[in-house]
Amino acid sequence: MSTKDFNVLTIRQEAAKLGFDEIRFTHLDPAPGVDNYNRFIDEGRHGEMGWMERGQPPRANPFSLLPGAKSVIVLGMNYSHPRPPDPGGLTGKVASYAWGRDYHNRIGKRLKKLDRNLREQIPGFLSYGGVDSRPLIERAWAQRAGLGFLGKNCLAILPGRSSYFFIAVMLVNIDLPPDTPLGDHCGSCQRCLDVCPTGAFTAPGELDARRCISYLTIEHKGEIPNDLRQQMGRWVFGCDDCQEVCPHNPKNPIFADPEFAPRAGHAWLDLEWVLLADDDTLKSHFQGSPIRRPGPQGLKRNAAIVLGNMGDPSARTSLLRAMDHSDAIVKSHAKWALDRL
């Protein structure tokens, strides 16, 4: 067996042992997706996500992240689980990737273990990698490596299988045979574009994050524009609308890693509880969950909007109590919801 074949076999075996469902390889230079990424930033479509702008140089020059890098390993991990039944009442929907444990932490630990295992078996092996936390354009690397094609909703999609998977990328200092990219599998379908409540897609494959419900409920820290609040519907954290209508996603998904299975009370949030719980309680309850990212004020803001959209008069008492909150943004969104009631 040649050294290259041994390395490929070793990487595939070790990655599979750690629960990665998809393993692909691609060449390093030039970095993919840079022009589209720069245009996205230049047009201001990234909103308040300043880290995207700060990370432009290394995304364009991966050699600055790992001198001597030669190839890229792209890894996919499925997180698809059936959505728990709607409990009814005053509850809000959570995007499916956030039902279980925080993928940054869980997959990050597996990447570190993969790096450690490969160093032990491949002489001189070095890597630099991450999952949605490093200056790497993961979806572009996935597309080049054949781990999905980029759909009109800007997500990597495995044709006929799923778009519900996390992408991790590792730059490595060894030569690996590149896999073949996939062609377009959207065709004339534009269900994802049509279903977006806020019109966040400005064209196929073009997203304005400032109108995206996922951005608004998670990354955006201030007032949510009035003209977008009603379009949020029951989404209190993230949004899956453009994935739920995609014909490549089966109606009955295969159960994924149990670490990403729905935790009790995480797929549907009790909105009144979110609105009235103190900050420490919310932080503690969502410890180890992506739902913690907007912070207590962001979650309360989102909960107030969803309660306003639901229009149930029984939420009035909770919203009135939220008017006493110390945060001006929570107050203003509670008032908006009360006005709608």
> Catalytic residue numbers?
132
Q: What end-to-end distance do the CA atoms of the chain give, in Å?
A: 71
Sequence-distant (6+) residues with CB within 8 A of 311 are: 340, 341
Count of alpha carbons within 13 Å of 42, Cβ hemisphere only?
A: 6
Q: Cβ distance 61 to 206 under 8 Å? A: no
341 by DSSP, 3-state: which? coil
Q: Cβ distance 235 to 291 under 8 Å? A: no
Give the span between the Cα atoms of 4 and 24, in whole angstroms. 15
Dihedral sign, CA of 222, 93, 139, 118? Answer: positive
Element (H, E) at 320: helix 316-322
Give the span between the Cα atoms of 259 and 236, in whole angstroms. 22
Give the span between the Cα atoms of 139 and 32, in whole angstroms. 9
Sequence-distant (6+) residues with CB within 8 A of 124 are: 173
Which residues are registered as beta bridge partners of 208?
Answer: none
